[in-house]
């Protein structure tokens, strides 16, 4: 009975898989932010100044972060934000045990040292790849890296099954994240879940439907319905049709016609015709037969006669 009770208590306060993975994402985001802020300090210096020593500088910044997080509090920055920290599983007992000094040093070596070795070996082998000794070392390092990737994949599959030790470093050192304080169980109302699922499905439907709607065509139809009819035969109607663009209602710039009695700005009609192959005149609904420039001399002659 006591063993069953202990197991149920430990499982009820176990850190979720998604929380452990979110902690890694937060740690990576912090590393990128620290490096970008550090590189910004040298943006006005000679280009390529930090390229030669970039792996060492990144490792130094990561060691500084490790010194004030894992070494001092047994938790990374991402774990601190999620209210979790590392627990030493090598020491028996249900009480929380912080990491030993040896585990913290090995943690820095297996995390910071591994990243530095990958970046430095790449540049080193790139510059001395023709020598036989470096070629053999490169092949050996590639073999070790391949074995490590396979082992990491198998370890991650075990993590998805058991929920513990998401990385080989944690499994090797015998550390796992636990909550800093007891977490109460979260209860989600059924109506809340139903509402969220409904809105999620509605949003997916809109995302699928909106690209299928021809906004240009719809806008043209609406403007045609609400536009004032100007089919009168009077001189004022002809003057209005020729003195303003049928789309922007401004004085037509480089006036062009599409086959009806209205004129349009060159860029207005070209952009609308390119966006909608079935574009019609928003004033009279006439289809585009050909976009041709309006003869300015004829228009001036008509105005002088009027």
> What is the residue range of 291's domain?
215-305
Q: Are residues 121 and 258 in the same domain?
A: no
Assign residue 298 the CATH number of its domain: 3.30.40.10
pLDDT at 87 over 70: yes
The total of structural domains in the chain comes to 2
In a domain, 186, yes or no: no
Q: Are residues 43 and 143 in the same domain?
A: yes
In a domain, 38, yes or no: yes
Q: Are residues 66 and 149 in the same domain?
A: yes
In a domain, 249, yes or no: yes
Q: Are residues 17 and 139 in the same domain?
A: yes
How confident is the model over 252-264, as pLDDT tens digits? 888 888 888 788 8
In a domain, 188, yes or no: no
Q: Are residues 170 and 51 in the same domain?
A: yes
How confident is the model over 107-136, as pLDDT tens digits? 999 999 888 888 888 777 666 556 667 678
Contact 241, 230 (CB under 8 A): yes
Q: Are residues 171 and 263 in the same domain?
A: no
In a domain, 245, yes or no: yes
Q: Are residues 33 and 107 in the same domain?
A: yes
Q: Is the pTM of this model over 0.85?
A: no
């Amino acid at each position: 009975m006591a063993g069953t009770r202990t197991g149920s208590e430990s499982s009820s306060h176990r850190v979720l898989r998604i929380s452990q993975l979110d902690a890694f994402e937060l740690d990576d985001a912090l590393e990128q932010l620290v490096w970008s802020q550090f590189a910004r300090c040298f943006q006005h210096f000679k280009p390529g100044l930090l390229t030669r020593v970039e792996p060492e500088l990144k490792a130094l910044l990561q060691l500084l972060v490790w010194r004030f997080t894992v070494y001092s509090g047994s938790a990374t920055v991402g774990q601190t934000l999620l209210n979790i920290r590392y627990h030493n599983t090598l020491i028996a007992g249900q009480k929380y045990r912080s990491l030993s000094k040896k585990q913290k040093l090995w943690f820095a070596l297996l995390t910071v040292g591994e990243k530095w070795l990958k970046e430095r070996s790449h540049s080193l082998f790139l510059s001395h790849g023709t020598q036989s000794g470096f070629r053999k070392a490169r092949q050996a390092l590639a073999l070790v890296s391949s074995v490590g990737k396979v082992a990491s994949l198998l370890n991650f599959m075990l993590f998805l099954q058991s929920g513990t030790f998401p990385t080989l470093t944690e499994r090797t050192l015998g550390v796992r994240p636990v909550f800093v304080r007891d977490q109460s169980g979260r209860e989600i109302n059924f109506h809340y879940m139903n509402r969220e699922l409904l809105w999620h499905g509605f949003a997916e439907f809109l995302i699928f439907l909106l690209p299928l709607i021809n906004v240009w065509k719809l806008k043209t139809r609406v403007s045609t319905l609400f536009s004032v009819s100007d089919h009168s035969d009077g001189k004022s109607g002809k003057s209005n049709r020729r003195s303003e663009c049928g789309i922007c209602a401004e004085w037509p710039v480089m006036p062009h016609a599409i086959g009806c009695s209205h004129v349009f700005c060159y860029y207005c009609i070209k952009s609308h015709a390119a966006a909608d192959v079935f574009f019609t005149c928003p004033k009279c609904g006439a289809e585009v037969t050909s976009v041709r420039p309006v003869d300015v001399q004829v228009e001036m002659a008509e105005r002088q006669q009027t």
